Amino acid sequence: MILAADVGNTNITVGAYDGEKLCTTFRLTTKTPRTSDEYGILIREILSEHGIKKENIEGSIISSVVPDVMHALVSSLKKYFGAAPVIVGPGIKSGMKIITEEPKSIGADRIVDAVAGYEKYGGPVLIIDFGTATTYDLVNEKGEFAAGITAPGIRISAEALWKQTAKLPNIEIKLPKSILAQETVSSMQAGLMYGQVGATEYIIDRVKSESGIKKMKVVATGGLGRLIADATDSIDIYDANLTLEGLRIIYDKNKAVKNR
């Protein structure tokens, strides 16, 4: 079995794989400072709750956009699970060529999503990750990372709305019954969510128009992605575990190279 960990700005998402089977997933809060021992004990105990012993774990892989977390997390996996993790970054075999102007500036999480999107659904494919930021990544028919768009995430937009205005409350992020809101909370939800749906549809259409690729799969992932995917016909597939799948695929590619 292997552990796959995606370190995002809000959460660390961890999955345990037995071959290609995802056995369990869980999340840790990224912004909570933890030592390597705290990470190790916490991960070990959560796995134990799901019937997975630390002895079952033979390897691990991490993608991260939060450098400050890495020392403690990497040390915890070495100490408590006995092996240094594969870290997605320069020198790691992903099987994907990046043809943007600054390939090294593409975040590890985006490469992982792109690899999973192409491997699972073929190309061309547009992968949308509704995370702390909302990212749109285009992989062409050849399996090359061709372009990326970055927009404020839904939570960032929501927090800006209630933190920067004196009288607007903190609200639950969900689609209201109607865009024709009758009071403050639903009016905020309507603007936030339908605004996101509209932006998503426009960006998808613009990507298709400027790339000249009229037919492409559009795949969404990320914690709030299902809300948007359910509200538009522009998204073909919602895949909650796309990033973890990408980590597993990249781990297997690097294991195969190592074993040659």
Catalytic residues: 109
Write the burial class of residue 182 (CB in 10 Å: 0-12 exposed, 13-18 middle, 19+ buried).
exposed
Buried b (16+ CB within 10 A) or exposed e, 208-242: beeeebeebbbbbbbbbbbbbbebeebbebbbebb
- For residue 260, give the 3-state DSSP assignment: coil
CA angle 22, 93, 57 (to 5 degrees): 35
Q: Residue 138 is inside which H or E element, if any?
A: strand 133-139
User: What is the C-alpha to C-alpha distance for residues 106 and 146, in angstroms, rounded to an integer?
Assistant: 11
